[in-house]
Copies of this chain bind each other. A is one copy, B any other.
C-alpha cells in the first residue's frame, strides 16, 4: 500500500534539512580527491549518455539522506503504480500512460476495455504506414506530385516537444540521408505566425497536421481555418492536404476534412505526448518511421533505468532528488538548462513547459495547500551563446541558480574547422568543462569586481553524439525527473488547472461580456 504524504511530514526530509550547507563545493572540486570525485559521481543513462553530478553540492552523506527520502517517499513504487495503470492523475481521474507509447514496462494496462500498449503501438504503426506511403509517392497531392513539407498546427504540448525534437534531429537527418520532408510549425493565435509560415512553404506540396486532443483548442482550430483559407486560395482541396491527431471521441476524429486521423487518449498529457502520435506523425513524415522508432527505443531504455531502486543507478531519480535538495533545503528559486548543442536550441523551452506546467502547483494531490516550495522557474539557451549573455548573473549575481549542462563529444554535421590548434567542437566542449569548474570553484581576486565566489552547482549529461536514441533518452530522463519530483512534493504533476481561468476570461472579453477593469483593459487594446 502506498503512502502519499507531504514532503514536510517525512522523517528523511528532516534529516536532509540538517545537512544544509554540508558541502563546500569549491573545496571538494579543487582538493586532492577532485578527479576521483568526477569519475565516481557519475551514473550511466540510456542512449549512451551519462549523468555526472560531481559539481553538485552533495557528498556521500547527503546521497544517503536522499536515498532514504526516495525510499520513504516510495518513489519507485509510485512509478510502478503509474506504469501499471493506477489513477495517478487524481484531479482529472486519469491514468498516466505516456511511457507505454515506447515500451511495456510492467503489467498489461487494460482501460476502457482496450489493451493500451497495443492501442499506442497500432497508432504508431498507422503513422509509420502513412509516412511510408507519402515517401514512396503512393499518397500525393491532386496533381500526383509528392509532398515535400509537413506543417504541424498545434500549441503547448502539441508544439514545443515535437518542434524541439525536429530541430534537434534535422541536421543529424540531413547528414545521415534520412531527411524525407522538411517540417514547420504554426502555434500562436497571432495571425502573423500562420501568415509567415504559410508564406515560407510551398502550399501545393505541403501536408498539414492539426493536433488537438480535445479537438476544441481555440488557437489550433483558428489556425486550422487560417490554413484552410490559404489552401483554398491556392486552388487546392484542403481535405487532401490535412491530417488530424486527436482523441477518438473528439469532433476531429471522424471528419471527412482529413486525409487520415491518428489517435491519442486522455491518458497522455500534452506535455508528455511527444512519444505518441502527436510527435509520431510529424516526425515519421519528416525523418522516416525508423528514426522515430529509434527515438522511442532511447526513451524506453530510460524508462527502464527509472525502475532502479538504487539512486546511484537511477539517474532521473537522483537528478530529481538533488533538485529537491537545492529547491527545498538550499532555497534556490530557479534552474538553468544549458545544452552545448545548437540543435537543442528549443529543448529548454520544451523542458520549461514539462517542468513548470507539471510541478508549478501549490496544492497536493488531494487538493490541500502545501507548506513548502514546489517547481522552480526553468529557463535556458544553448552554450556557448549564453556565456556571452546571462551567464554574468549566474557567475556573479546575488542568487545562486543551479545549472543543468548537456554536451556531446561529436557534432551532428561532421563539418568542422581547425583554428589555433583545435576544432570548433573541441572549443565547444572545452567551454562547457571550463564553465562547470568556474561556477563550482570560483576565483579569488584582489579586485572584488573580478572575484568569483564559486559554490554554484551544476550537473552535466554527456553523450557521444545527439542521435535519435540519445534524444529519446534525454527527453525521458527529464519526464521521469519531473515525475519523481512531483512524487516527492506529493503533487499531481499531470493536470494543469492553472491554465483554465484565463481561457474563461478571454471568452468573456470576446463576447464583450465585461465590466470594470476587464472592460477598461479591453478598451485599451480596442477589442
Contact = CB atoms under 8 A, between A and B. Distances in A.
B520 A38 contact: yes
A250 interface: no
A421 B501 CA distance: 21
Nearest to A501: B438
A501 B333 contact: no
Contacts of A218: 427
Given A91-B449, A225-B419, A388-B499, A29 B517 contact: yes
Contacts of A4: none
Interface in A482-502: 492, 495-502
A424 B429 CA distance: 44
A356 B287 CA distance: 38
Of the listed residues A342, A429, A517, the one surrounded by the most CB atoms of chain B closer than 10 A to its CB is A517
Interface stretch (A122-130, A193-201, A318-326): A193-201
A382 interface: yes
B525 A433 contact: yes
Contacts of A378: 390
A522 interface: yes
Contacts of A417: 191, 222, 225-226, 229
Contact of A509 (B38, B430, B520): B430
A409 interface: yes
Contact of A520 (B39, B370, B501, B526): B39
Interface stretch (A62-70, A132-140, A254-262, A393-401): A393-401
Nearest to A34: B517
A17 interface: no
Given A218-B427, A353-B389, A360-B393, A434 B384 contact: no
Interface string A500-526: 111111101110000111111110111
A121 interface: no
Contacts of A517: 29-30, 34-35, 37-38, 54, 437, 440-441
Given A35-B519, A38-B521, A395-B499, A367 B448 contact: yes
Contact of A525 (B356, B409, B413): B409
Contact of A222 (B389, B419, B522): B419
Interface string A422-462: 11111111111111111011110001111011000000101
A270 interface: yes
Interface in A31-84: 34-35, 37-39, 42, 50, 52, 54
B525 A407 contact: yes
A316 interface: no
Of the listed residues A353, A393, A397, the one surrounded by the most CB atoms of chain B closer than 10 A to its CB is A393
Contact of A188 (B156, B157, B384, B401): B384
Contacts of A356: 389-390, 392-393, 397
A516 B30 contact: yes
A106 interface: no
A527 B384 contact: no
Interface in A180-239: 187-196, 199, 218-219, 221-223, 225-226, 229
Contacts of A229: 417
B505 A438 contact: yes
A250 B194 CA distance: 44
A252 B166 CA distance: 38
A190 B270 contact: no
A190 B416 CA distance: 9
Given A334-B333, A417-B229, A427 B155 contact: no
Given A155-B385, A156-B385, A370 B393 contact: no
A369 to B, nearest CB: 7
A201 to B, nearest CB: 15
A343 interface: yes
Given A38-B524, A397-B356, A501-B443, A190 B52 contact: no
Nearest to A421: B510
B452 A498 contact: yes
A388 B155 contact: yes
A507 to B, nearest CB: 8
A499 B433 contact: no
A19 interface: no
Contacts of A498: 391-396, 452
Interface in A142-194: 155-157, 159-160, 170-171, 174, 187-194
Contacts of A525: 407, 409, 429, 432-433, 462
Given A190-B342, A390-B360, A396 B426 contact: no
14 contacts: A29-B517, A35-B520, A50-B524, A171-B195, A225-B417, A226-B417, A229-B417, A362-B396, A377-B390, A392-B499, A422-B510, A431-B506, A433-B505, A460-B524
Question: What 6 A-B pairs come out closest when comparing CB atoms?
Answer: A360-B393, A156-B388, A434-B505, A38-B520, A395-B498, A353-B389
